[in-house]
Amino acid sequence: MDVSKDSCGSLIDCYTINGLELVRVSVVDHKMQPVYETLVKPHHKVLDYNTRWSGITENQLKACNITIEDVQRRLLKLFNEKSILIGHSLESDLKALKIVHETVVDTSLVFPHAKGKPFKRALKTLMTEFLTKIIQENTDGHDSMEDAISCMELMLWKVKQDLKNGSSNH
């Protein structure tokens, strides 16, 4: 399914362990429908699964045989150079995916921190402040699909606010 090549955008969220080692990828289309989600087998030994935040356990990754190369091939079928990728702190996701993409909308930049760069506001905080919605409450780890959808909800809210206020800054 070629969801993004001619569409309004796709949302992507990745989880990593051991620094930037990719272990989960979630992609949602511009209608906030799941398009692709997979665990990814890390190349290196996992020192800490960080399950509280990632939601990923040792048993899940032991059963996984999807490699980062498999994910890259799949994403190349979903996106092209004109596709718009939307996410929060996308530079981390793109580094983990080991891909370069120029057309991005990053909610961490659209909603800047009051102290300026390099500070960034948490996605959870943005959702609470602007949409009065609580996310990332699961004690079994964050849901990358929820995070991807939250980014789209934020951007839809932002566009509506800008249109309402007559602004086109973003």
State how far the Cα of 63 lies from the Cα of 88, in Å rounded to an integer.
29
Please list the alpha-helical segments (H only) found in 9-50: none
Q: Tell me the mean pLDDT in the region 124-148.
A: 82
State how far the Cα of 83 lies from the Cα of 94, in Å rounded to an integer.
14
Q: Which long-range contacts (CB under 8 A, 24 or more apart) does 2-7 make?
A: 2/77, 2/78, 3/29, 3/35, 3/78, 4/29, 4/30, 4/35, 4/78, 4/79, 4/80, 4/83, 4/84, 5/78, 5/79, 5/80, 5/82, 5/83, 6/82, 7/83
- Which domains can be identified in the chain, with CATH numbers? 10-164 (3.30.420.10)
| pLDDT given for residue 2 in this prediction | 44
pLDDT at 142 over 50: yes
* DSSP code for 39: E
Is-cis flag, bond preceding 34, omega within 30? no
Residue 156, CB-side half-sphere exposure with 13 Å CA sphere: 15
pLDDT at 74 over 60: yes
State how far the Cα of 51 lies from the Cα of 142, in Å rounded to an integer.
9
Q: What is the pTM of this model?
A: 0.83
pLDDT at 43 over 60: yes
- Give which of 29, 31, 35 is closest to 74, Cα–Cα: 35
For residue 14, give both structure tokens: 């990745």
| pLDDT given for residue 97 in this prediction | 94
For residue 107, give both structure tokens: 């909610």
| pLDDT given for residue 3 in this prediction | 45
* DSSP code for 102: S
Share of residues in the chain with pLDDT > 70 (%): 90
State how far the Cα of 19 lies from the Cα of 52, in Å rounded to an integer.
16
